[in-house]
Amino acid sequence: MDFTDVSLTALRVFRAVAEQGTFTAAAVSLGYTQSAVSRQIAAIERAAGAELLERRRDGVRLTAAGRVVMRRATVVLDEIEATARELSGLEGQAGTVRLGWFPSAGAVLVPRALAALRRSHPGLRVVGREGSTPALVRALRAGSLDLAVLASAPPFRPPDAESPPLVLRTLTERALCLAVPAAHPLAREDFVDVADLRGQRWIASGAAGEDRLLGVWPGLDERPEIVHTTRDWLAKLHLVAAGCGLTTVPAALAAVAPPGVRVLPVRGGPQEQRRLLLARLPHPPSEPAGLVAAALRAAALDLDTPSPPSR
């Protein structure tokens, strides 16, 4: 089989595997069986005459040949999608930017930036997706995202060890906060003392097999009591409002906390800082991508304006 005979389906499957990091996750995202994904990958590797994916215990990684195929495949698939949009009668756009973000950034930061762009550049088209920071980094590497808003915690290491390094810009850095039920004794003050976190019940998020669960205050000198685990940050906050437990939140989420939740700073221990990063590949960004980056920076500056604790 000559590589010029590779199907668009095989290219889409290959891109999905590279982005998702595993055959299983790619199959779920595409609605395929895992065996169908495996067959498509086997076919494209036969056509390439080389291994395109390095199979590892923690997932897959693009080989040198795989990066070549991914770069070209992304161009082909983007052009096909652009053709489909034109044929469907959509008006011409001033530019399209593919933006990714981690879940809580989609609550406040990204909507503010996109609202500003709709006013200032109504012809600019932003195609967005939510994902975990590792998944977004893989998508950047695969060439299917132009920009990504990532989360970073101390010691603030680069999000991956691949070469060339991603270009990272800090959008904001703020202290981690605590979401507390409004009727909880800890909600009576305008801050929580870290010593009072012993023996509390926690609402966490995380995937099976992860070493740490997000939502539990870092550095507790006890085994935390996890009463609920969910990936949805809004579900976590509503569980807090229902009095089910406490959870950690970025400071920016105070603006969208539901009734019955107080978002408070924590004192008495080391400051737990969290960064929002804007990441891209190390080549000059397009003009539309530059506009989106500027809007995200402006929205982040707005979020950095101090606000009183929520009640």
pLDDT tens track, the chain, 311 positions: 688 889 999 999 998 898 888 899 889 888 899 999 999 999 999 999 999 999 988 788 888 898 889 888 888 887 887 777 667 655 444 578 999 999 889 989 999 999 999 999 988 989 999 988 998 998 898 888 999 999 998 889 999 988 889 999 999 988 899 999 999 999 999 999 999 999 999 999 864 434 456 899 998 888 999 999 998 888 999 999 999 999 999 888 888 899 999 999 999 877 788 999 999 998 888 889 999 999 999 999 887 665 554 45
Q: For the chain, first and last CA: distance in Å?
A: 65
CA atoms in the 13 A half-sphere facing the CB of 211: 1
Asked if 202 and 216 count as a contact pair (C-beta separation under 8 A), the reply is: yes
Strands 95-101, 124-130: pairing kind: parallel
What pTM, to 2 d.p., does this model score? Answer: 0.72
pLDDT at site 86: 67
pLDDT at site 68: 87
pLDDT at site 209: 39
Name beta bridge partners: 174.
274
Rounded to a whole number, what is the largest CA-CA distance in the chain?
70
Instruction: Report how far apart, in Å, the C-alpha atoms of 274 and of each of 34, 51, 177, 240, 252 are.
Output: 36, 38, 10, 21, 11
pLDDT at site 211: 45
Asked if 228 and 244 count as a contact pair (C-beta separation under 8 A), the reply is: yes
What's the rounded Cα separation, in Å, for the pair 55 and 217? 35
What's the rounded Cα separation, in Å, for the pair 307 and 262? 13
pLDDT at site 191: 94
Name beta bridge partners: 205.
214
In 3D, which of 177, 173, 151 has the Cα closest to residue 251? 177
pLDDT at site 286: 87
**Category of 79 on φ-ψ map: left (φ > 0), alpha (ψ -120 to 50) or beta:** alpha
pLDDT at site 114: 95
What's the rounded Cα separation, in Å, for the pair 281 and 168? 9
pLDDT at site 90: 52
In 3D, which of 6, 32, 3 has the Cα closest to residue 17? 32
Helices marked H in 31-97: 34-48, 64-87
pLDDT at site 208: 40
- DSSP state, residue 41: H
